[in-house]
Amino acid sequence: MQNQKIVIEGGVPLRGDIKIQGAKNSSLPIIAASLLCEGETVIKNCPRISDTYASCRILSHLGCRCNLSGNVLTVSADKKSSCSVSDELMSEMRSSIIYMGALLGSSGECCMTFPGGCELGPRPIDMHIDAMKKLGARVKDEYGIIECSAPHGLKGTKIILSYPSVGTTENIMLAAVKAEGETVISNAAMEPEITDLAEFLNKCGGRIKGAGTGKIVIDGVKKLYGCTYTVMPDRIAAATYISAAAATNGEINILGIDGLLCDSFISVFEQMGCYIYIYDDRVYVNAERPLRSVGKIITMPHPGFPTDAQAVIMAALCKARGSSIFVENIFESRYKQVDALVKMGANIKVSGKTAVVTGVKRLYGSKVSATDLRGGASMIVAGLGADGKTEISDIYHIDRGYENIENIISSLGGKIKRI
Ligand code: EPZ
């Protein structure tokens, strides 16, 4: 709901065990991919977040049967009756661009509005459109409406991405998995969520090799059949809870995640002075020592440091001894959380892509508004480590990607509630 708030009394070290949610950035493309399948698809470990609910609304709008019970989403696309995603649905969720590849791959046509920018700045889709054209789709893009059609079907081809775009890589996989012939994606995104999507599609009968590397080879098949699949754990949610443990000098266990999934950011927490032990099913964090600043944190495509972890780690570093430097290379305006952190007493200087965080002794609880999904989460992290009360409004941004965040933090002893 739009007028809900999160209220935090800071200063309590977080302690205990939590079970991590399913990965938002894997479940969203997998839900879209269910459009390509005959019969029933059962998606387990699906996070109960508003982006999942928005995905269900899109699938229902397209005529699919969609049922979410607990963390299990069951989809049947056999009665799919439409190929157009309304403006209102497109604007609800920035990542709905993924339905371009899913609809072209399943019905050979799609109509959608230009997914508006979001809090992170303009979100161009030039690479998506260019890739669909290379696969043989005709794309008409005017007055904010995008109409794609492939009357003669999609044909596999070689696509070299100028930038390893996650969404573009996923859209190509969805459009090409049932195209005629072979598609090769060079300079493909290598995020673990790409591998999860490929594993889902292969379990449905697809033939995709090389996911997780820069070269993905897709051998088109005629049909895909719905299957039961468990979504991978959310490594960015894990980075968020580790940041909260660090900001409160606490000690937590994150269950249900292979520590290797966190290897693109674990070293940053170790440089901060956290003891981190990774196992194949959990991550142990002990942040009881005072935090110290880290050198440069430069966001890069995987396996580099993930842009989605930048804001929450920045919040943890606000009280670390010394200065840390962030360089944000992926999105144009991903420092929206800085104003709120400065209002809480942080010392952060932003110039273009660079943000310099100089540790201060303490942060002070304040009234702040969430600016975007990860920025909002960073305010929770900062509030947990601040003295006094923090009140965060516009928490619908946070609910887009975090399942039950206040209950999870309460279970670790944090004083947090939703009002
Ligand atoms: C995915 O976004 C994630 N979203 C983002 O997570 C994540 O930050 C991003 O990948 C990078 O890892 C989902 O998976 C739903 P990109 P996506 O295409 O696919 C530019 C979160 O907080 N670009 O790799 O949009 C684009 O503007 C969200 O969970 C073009 O210029 O990321 C951006 O600057 C935020 N033209 C850069 O590439 C295009 O056609 C990275 O975009 C496409 C992208």
Q: What is the pLDDT of residue 117?
A: 54
The per-residue pLDDT for range 305-361, each reduced to its tens digit, is 999 999 999 999 999 999 999 999 999 889 999 999 999 999 999 999 999 999 999
Pocket of ligand 1 contains residue 28 by CB under 6 Å: yes
* End-to-end alpha carbon distance in the chain: 10
Pocket of ligand 1 contains residue 167 by CB under 6 Å: yes
Once rounded to an integer, what is the mean pLDDT over residues 151-170?
96
Question: What ligand 1 atom has the least distance to the C-alpha of 51?
Answer: 15
Least confident among 14-28, 71-85, 237-251, 365-379: 71-85
pLDDT tier for residue 115 given thresholds of 50, 70 and 90: low
pLDDT at 116 over 60: no
The per-residue pLDDT for range 38-85, each reduced to its tens digit, is 999 999 999 999 999 999 999 999 999 999 999 999 999 998 888 999
Burial class (CB in 10 A: 0-12, 13-18, 19+), 170: buried
pLDDT at 120 over 80: no
What is the best residue among 93, 134, 166, 171 to mutate for testing ligand 1's pocket, by most ligand atoms within 8 Å of CB?
A: 166
Pocket of ligand 1 contains residue 307 by CB under 6 Å: yes
| More confidently predicted of 406 and 80 | 406
**CA torsion sign, 88 to 89 to 95 to 97?**
negative
Once rounded to an integer, what is the mean pLDDT over residues 396-410?
97
pLDDT at 144 over 60: yes
Phi, psi for residue 265 in degrees, rounded to 5: -135, -10
pLDDT at 417 over 90: yes
Question: What ligand 1 atom has the least distance to the C-alpha of 307?
Answer: 8
Question: What ligand 1 atom has the least distance to the C-alpha of 193?
Answer: 14
pLDDT at 250 over 60: yes
Pocket of ligand 1 contains residue 128 by CB under 6 Å: yes
Residue nearest atom 35 of ligand 1, based on CA coordinates:
308
pLDDT at 135 over 90: yes
Q: What is the pLDDT of residue 124?
A: 87
CB of 336 closer than 8 Å to CB of 119: yes
- DSSP letters for 197-222: HHHHHHHTT--EE-BTBSEEEEE--S
Half-sphere exposure (CA, 13 Å, Cβ side) for 2? Answer: 0
The question of whether 118 is a catalytic residue gets the answer yes
pLDDT tier for residue 94 given thresholds of 50, 70 and 90: confident
Question: What ligand 1 atom has the least distance to the C-alpha of 95?
Answer: 15
Residues of the chain with pLDDT > 90: what percent?
Answer: 90
Number of other CB atoms surrounding residue 204 within 10 Å = 23
**pTM for the predicted model, two decimal places:** 0.97
Pocket of ligand 1 contains residue 331 by CB under 6 Å: yes
Rg (CA), the chain: 21
Residue nearest atom 32 of ligand 1, based on CA coordinates:
166
Q: What is the pLDDT of residue 358?
A: 98
Choosing from 118, 148, 227, 274, the catalytic residue is: 118
Give the H/E segment covering residue 408. helix 405-411
The per-residue pLDDT for range 221-245, each reduced to its tens digit, is 999 999 999 999 999 999 999 999 9
Residues 6+ apart with CB under 8 A from 399: 49, 50
Pocket of ligand 1 contains residue 171 by CB under 6 Å: no
The per-residue pLDDT for range 257-291, each reduced to its tens digit, is 999 999 999 999 999 999 999 999 999 999 999 99
Pocket of ligand 1 contains residue 123 by CB under 6 Å: yes
Residues 224 and 112: their CA atoms lie apart, in Å, by: 24
